[in-house]
Amino acid sequence: DAKTTQPPSMDCAEGRAANLPCNHSTISGNEYVYWYRQIHSQGPQYIIHGLKNNETNEMASLIITEDRKSSTLILPHATLRDTAVYYCIVPGEAGTALIFGKGTTLSVSS
Amino acid sequence: EAGVTQFPSHSVIEKGQTVTLRCDPISGHDNLYWYRRVMGKEIKFLLHFVKESKQDESGMPNNRFLAERTGGTYSTLKVQPAELEDSGVYFCASSKLTGVTNTEAFFGQGTRLTVV
């Protein structure tokens, strides 16, 4: 699996955009970048994934740099309920298990 | 469509006893994964089933842990005998088998195991 590096924590004001960075400089050409989050002690929740193009869904946007060595998860209008640990993961081969690192603890405050 | 379901949601057992956790994946998902989160630590991968076969069990801590997935549907994770350090939240996840790219994995709400 490609190693990922994330800041341990970030703060964001409610209603503002939260931009969570991730470095994955050893990513190979056919490896996807996945983002998950864990709210409190719930099961991890899938957010979004991408290969090389920017992606957007109802939860977030994913911006991947042209060299694919880093990406940014964007929560456009963060709410208090977005307070969670966010994980950037590059799983490797199809079907292989997700390996969770320490992630980024995002704290959204009013 | 039902999500990944885990039973029980909580279990408190004494050291030396046996506990069996169950996971029902999303119907049609051939990949099934077990994870564990010990308090204060990262979520740790335990093992991966593809249908009824163990694809990767490199994360299983020791031979007190036995996972099965007979028939390729639900899975069980048995801890026998349980030790204090086995306490934590056990998560199960499932995903479709594509063979080409990864697909998103869906997680259950976990089983909180407390060994006293």
Question: For A31-88, what is each residue's pLDDT tens digit?
Answer: 889 999 999 889 999 999 999 989 999 999 999 999 999 999 999 999 999 999 999 9
Query: How far does CA B75 lie from the centroid of its chain?
Result: 8
pLDDT at B70: 86
Q: How far is A95 from chain B (nearest CA, A)?
A: 5
Beta-bridge partners for B79 = B19, B65
Closest CA relative to residue A3, chosen from A80, A75, A100: A100
Which of A33, A34, A98, A102 would you mutate first to test chain B, the one with the most B CBs within 10 A?
A: A98
More confident residue, A77 or B2: A77
Q: Which of B45, B100, B107 sits opposite A97 (nearest CB)?
A: B45
- Mean confidence (pLDDT) of chain B: 93
Tokens 């050291």 belong to: B15
CA B1 to chain centre: 21
